[in-house]
A = this chain, B = another copy of it.
Amino acid sequence: MKKLGMVGGVAWPSTIDYYKAICRLSLAHHQARLADGPAPMPEMTIESLNLNKSYGLRGGSLADDASWMRYDQYFREALQRIEASGADVALIASNTPHNRYASIIQGIRIPVLSIFEAVARHCATIGITEMLILATAPTMDASAFTDVLARFGIKAHAPASPGERAKIVALIAELQTERDDDAARRIRDVVDASFPQTGTVRAVCLACTELPLALPSIERETDIVVGDIRYINTTMVHAKAAFAALLERSDA
């Protein structure tokens, strides 16, 4: 198996979900084979960043490149350390920095798997054509994610109401500190206010890697249906794409 590099800590609870997902996928992959001793695991380098610092380095409008320079650099330097540690493939275990993906990965020679791309591919595969995006403010405000989804024929939008967006941002801050009071219901209320019921299943993308923590039954799944809502777990979609990349052109 190839070695994986992961930029984590943004925030730390979802880094655990990624790490656990990769290890469980390796366990399942190798349990079917015969190996002496414990199940083989991919080697990984995880650079866990300080979310308080990355938050403080956020720039202004996402169109204003210069204001994001120090933010982009903080992530790029983590990827450089990961590259120096011998990782073959890398990822950033968070949606938000993917709004600055093109700038962050400048000069990085190993592939850095985009979560937006992995999610768009997954959603197209399961037949989603329209989707509500719940995420941090930068992801909901910018067009980076919706542009990628559009390339895969998926029409996506964040909640139109600033009040509904603010509810999601507040919930994410709670989940980052392991609080989740009634989180599933609060998400559902935002969905109902932002995405009219159509009589068919509504696709909702949990496009902040903390949001799946609100729905324990989604932990091991790329998506689940609850009532008339199909929730997409971006963490698991991204982790599965990464594990597949670790197996490519490899004898294990």
Report A's interface with B, CB cutoff 8 A: 9, 11-12, 15-16, 19-20, 23-24, 27, 35-53, 55-56, 81, 84-86, 173, 176-178
Partner of A177, one of B19, B27, B40: B27
Partner of A38, one of B44, B85, B176: B176
A78: min CB distance to chain B, Å? 9
Chain A to chain B contacts (Cβ below 8 Å), 6 pairs: A12-B20, A12-B41, A38-B52, A41-B48, A45-B46, A81-B86
A1: min CB distance to chain B, Å? 8
List 6 A-B pairs, minimum CB-CB distance, nearest first: A46-B46, A44-B48, A40-B52, A37-B55, A12-B23, A38-B51
A55-B38 contact, Cβ under 8 Å, with A15-B19, A19-B16, A48-B46 = yes
Interfacial chain B residues near A11, Cβ < 8 Å: 38
A191: min CB distance to chain B, Å? 25
Interfacial chain B residues near A20, Cβ < 8 Å: 12, 16
Contact A52–B27 (Cβ < 8 Å): no
- Give the residue name and chain of the B residue nearest to A85 (CB): B81
